[in-house]
Structure formats: C-alpha cells, structure tokens
Structure 1
Amino acid sequence: MMLRFVQYTLGLLLAATLVVGAAAPPAQAQTMDDKLRTFVLFHKLEYVPEPDGRPIGLEATSWIGGDVNRAWLRAEGEQSTLHREGEVELEALYGRLVSPFFDAVAGVRVDRAWGAGGKTRAHLAVGLQGLAPYQFEVEPTLYVSQKGNVTAGFAASYHVLFTQRLKLESELETSAALQAVPEWGVGSGVNDLGLGARLRYELHRKFAPYVGYDHHWAFGETADLAGEHASSGAFVFGVRIWR
C-alpha cells in the first residue's frame, strides 16, 4: 500500500514539474524569477496511538520554481498499522505570486482510499495560500469534483516561539459541501472542524520531533454518516523535516 502511495506522489510531482516548466514568467519578472529552486517539507510524519487503526499520518508540501511562478505538490494521508487500509489526498497546483504575502493556486486534487471498498475521485482546485495579518498562515481552497460536487476547505495555523528551538504550532481546519457524497462520508453543509496543537523541539534547524493533540468534530449529515466517530481526539507523536 505504501508503494502505491509513493507511485501517486511521484507521478503528481512529475506533472507539477512539467507545469512550472511550461509556465515561464514574463520578461519583466525575470529579475525576480530567474533561478529555479526546490523546497520539500514533511510538516507531519506521525504515529497516532488510537485503538481503531493506530495509523501513520503524513502531511507534506513541496514546490519547484522561482519567486513568481511555482508548481506545488500537497500530500495528506494515513495508513493503518493494524489493517490493510488507508487514504491519501494529493494536489498538483500551479501557483503565482499575486501579492507580497499570497499565491493564487489552481490545479487538480486526487483522493484515493484503499482497503475494504477502495475508491478514487478527482477534483479541480482553485484557491489562495499565504500569510494573513497577525502572522496566521491560511489556505482557503475551492474544489469541484469530476461529478460536479462542490466543496470548500479552509486551514489556518499559528506559531508561538518559546525559544529559538522550542515552538508551538496550533492549527484549525474546516470544510463544507454543497452536495452530499455519502460514499465519501460527506454531507451537505458544514462538514467538520479540526483543532490541533503540536509542541516541537528543533534538534537541528531541519529536524524537529514533536508531541501533540488533535480533536475532530463532524456536524449535520456528516456526523450522521460518521456515527460513533462524529467526535474524536488523539495524541500524536512525530517529526517535522524539511530541506
């Protein structure tokens, strides 16, 4: 199953690289955008000791490009350590700097679930990502699936520095849908809210172990579909790595 995840990731990274290569910046932007660079961040690589599946969770972001035009790859998923099941969301996006603090992004998202009742779906995606006032990192995105279902997601995070090495990151995520998609556990209206916090210590500037806690609530039709899992929380243990 992990091999399948790697294959999806590498395929979309290749597609994203081709996008940025085809989208050369205009001549007046060459002074800002003339050097091709790469960045990879494993924001979360963690173990969740919950009784249902004890999953390994992953959240990663990478980009290739310059100061104005970039190809982005986002990946988020989990693999159970008790069962042969898991899920992943992969996004390949073209991003362009539209203000000193924000990129506009557009591209595709592919969702894949495996195990009992494995399934796949695809979306078009458009949104923003950047730094809002008071140093909040925000990521609002609108999605339209291959069947015309419309959903929206919003994520925000904030960092508190206790020392140069000890840092606390708090996060908020929420989503909403215009149409119900029961096979994916999605109801119409506001779907869910997730809150989390991770305290990390940077042993090295690019490597930081952390401990944290996440809590997730489902609402309305989504809560009905989730049943006993409509509200759940768990401690997490992991590492944050970037290059």
Structure 2
Amino acid sequence: MRIIKSCTYTVLSLALASVTQMTMAQDAHHSMSTSAQHESHSSHDPSYQEMKTAIESSQIEHTAEHAEHAEHAEHANASSIASRAASAQHPVDHKREHGGQIYQATEIDSRWLNNADGRGRLKTEIESRIGTDENKLFIKLHADKAESQDADYAAQVMYSRMISDFWDAQIGARYRVDEHQVTDKEQLDAVVGLHGLAPYFFETDAYLYLGADKQVSFSLETERDLLLTQKLILKPYLNLDVVLSDDSAYAQKTGLSSVWLGLETRYEINKKLMPFIDVAYSYEKGNQHTARQAETGSEKQWWYGAGVRLKF
C-alpha cells in the first residue's frame, strides 16, 4: 500500500511538470508572435516610416553640425595663435589714441584796472604749452605796467612732467626785468614747482624761486570756475607771494609780500574769445631799507576793471 502511494505521487509530479513546461512554451511563442506582428504592422505604417526617416535625418544633421563647429573652432584657434604671434613680433602703439599725441595751447589774458585814486594799471599774462600729456614745455610771460611808470617783465620757461592724474612737477628758469631799479635790473632765478588741479577743482600753480643774493621766494596762484550758465562764469582767484629770504640791494621785506584776491565775471562768446570784468583787493608789504632804497610801507587798495581772454 505504501509503495502504491509513492508511485502515484511520482506520476502526479511528472504530469504537473510537463503541463508547466507546455504552458511556458506556449506563452513564449505567443509573445514572439505578437512582437513579430507589431514589427510587421509598424513597418507597413506610413507615419512610422516618416518618423523613422526624420529621426535619421536629424541625427545626420546633428553630426554634420558638430563637425562644422569643430572645424570653425579649430580655425578660430589657429587665427588667434597667429594674431598673438604677429602682435608679439610687431607690437601696436596706441599712444596717439590715448593721450600720446602732441598738442599746443596758448592763452592771452590782458586787463586794465583802476584803483580808488583813479590810477590805472595794465596787467598782461601769456601762457603757452606744447607737448604730450606726460611731457610738456611751459612758457609764461608776464608784464605789469602802472600808469606813468615803466613796466616790469618776467619770462618763465619750464619742463613739465606728469606725476599723477591731476598734477605736473615743473622745473626751469625765470628771467625778470625791473625798470625801477638802477642796478641789477635783470635777474635770473631757478624755478621748481607744481601745476595741477587741487581738490574741489581749484586750478593751482605753486612755485619756489631761487636767485642771487639769497633771494628765495614762493608764489601761489589758484582759481576756480563757477558756472552760472554755459557762457556766464564766475571765477574767484587768489595770487600771493611770500619772501623767504632776500639780501639783494633792492630787498623786499620777508614774509607775506603781496596778495591779490579777486572775482572775475566773464562771458564766453566762444571758447576763443572771452571778455570779462574784474574786482580785486590787493595788499603789498613794501621794501626794506637798504643802501640802494628807502623803506616803504604797505599798501591796501581795491581795483576795478575789465579785460579780455584769448585762447588758441
């Protein structure tokens, strides 16, 4: 009985395994058949063919575009290398485009002033410069003639070198003639100073003069334009001289020697022609007593007048 049960269990197991294998084979065959039918149907579908063709064309165009970009990049790289090599062999000078050009400018300032006593005075200043932004030659001419008196003249020639964005260092010589003196009418002084734009746009000239007979003096000129309109302009200005040392026969008193503080109002007809009126207050300390001259006292007075400025 036990043997019969064992045989029956074995037969049932074999039968179940056979049925399972047959089912799996039928499923695989059905899947393959379905896939083949789907492939066959898709291959005969026009929209499927158009999509496939579009995809292939897009892939071909993309490949061609990549090739073109690679060729262009290679050509640009070669051009860049060639340009750098040419620049290294033949550097380009851009100084003319960036302040390296030579220019010339001249300004003539002439004014007639009267004081409260009705005495007149003619003051003329000529300034000319030529060179580049970095290196320039400055020429300054000055003439001062009081009414019924001989004129005093001074000529100043300086080399100017830019030391910062707003300042030039200058060095040179000054030649001056004083007709009031009997002897030593002509004097030659060494000059060193600064020319530039002080804070708050004050155009400034500061010079130290060294001459014979221990003549050492300092001068300062500063001014600023205040625009009322594009053509009507106020210009306050300050000119002062300080005598540090003087052992000459016509020595001036040491200390603050002279001051001119004024207000100029000008009308710019154009950038070359500018008439103006001027009001100024002056202080002059006078000369000290020497074997050649008597001591003189200080003078304070107001001046009124008009003038014209030319630029070219």
Q: Following the alignment from structure 1 to structure 2, what is the Cα–Cα distance between the partners of residues 29 and 145? A: 43
Taking every aligned residue pair, what percent have the same amino acid on both sides? 23
Q: Secondary structure at the match of 2:200?
A: helix
Q: Following the alignment from structure 2 to structure 1, what is the Cα–Cα distance between the partners of residues 120 and 153? A: 16
Where structure 2 has 5 or more consecutive residues not aligned to the other structure, the ranges are 1-92, 289-293
Q: Is the 8 A contact 2:175 2:188 kept in 1?
A: yes
Match of 1:88 in 2: 153
Where structure 1 has 5 or more consecutive residues not aligned to the other structure, the ranges are 1-27
Q: Following the alignment from structure 1 to structure 2, what is the Cα–Cα distance between the partners of residues 214 and 76? A: 18
Instruction: Identify if the C-alpha distance between structure 1 residues 98 and 235 changes in structure 2 by more than 3 Å, giving closer, same or farther.
Output: same
The structure with the greater share of residues assigned to strand is: 1
- Aligned AA (1:100): D
Q: Following the alignment from structure 1 to structure 2, what is the Cα–Cα distance between the partners of residues 130 and 164? A: 23
- 5 Å-filtered alignment, 1:151-166, equals 151-166=217-232
Match of 1:233 in 2: 302
Instruction: Give the alignment's TM-score, normalised by structure 2.
Output: 0.62
- 5 Å-filtered alignment, 1:31-46, equals 34-42=100-108, 44-46=109-111
Give runs of ≥4 in structure 1 deviating > 6 Å. none
Q: Is the 8 A contact 2:213 2:247 kept in 1?
A: no
Q: Following the alignment from structure 1 to structure 2, what is the Cα–Cα distance between the partners of residues 152 and 115? A: 21
Instruction: Give the alignment's TM-score, normalised by structure 1.
Output: 0.78
The structure with the greater share of residues assigned to helix is: 2
Between Structure 1 and Structure 2, whose CA radius of gyration is higher? Answer: 2
Match of 2:213 in 1: 147
Match of 2:257 in 1: 191
Match of 1:60 in 2: 126
- 5 Å-filtered alignment, 1:4-83, equals 34-42=100-108, 44-50=109-115, 54-83=120-149
Q: Which of 166, 189, 202 does residue 123 from structure 1 map onto?
A: 189
The alignment of Structure 1 onto Structure 2 pairs a total of residues equal to: 213
Deviation digits for residues 174-195 of structure 1 (CA, Å, limit 9, x no counterpart): 2212223575462112222220
Q: Is the 8 A contact 2:113 2:121 kept in 1?
A: yes
Is residue 99 of structure 1 aligned with residue 168 of structure 2? no
Q: Following the alignment from structure 1 to structure 2, what is the Cα–Cα distance between the partners of residues 205 and 225? A: 45
Q: Which has the higher contact order (CA 8 A, sep 6+)?
A: 1
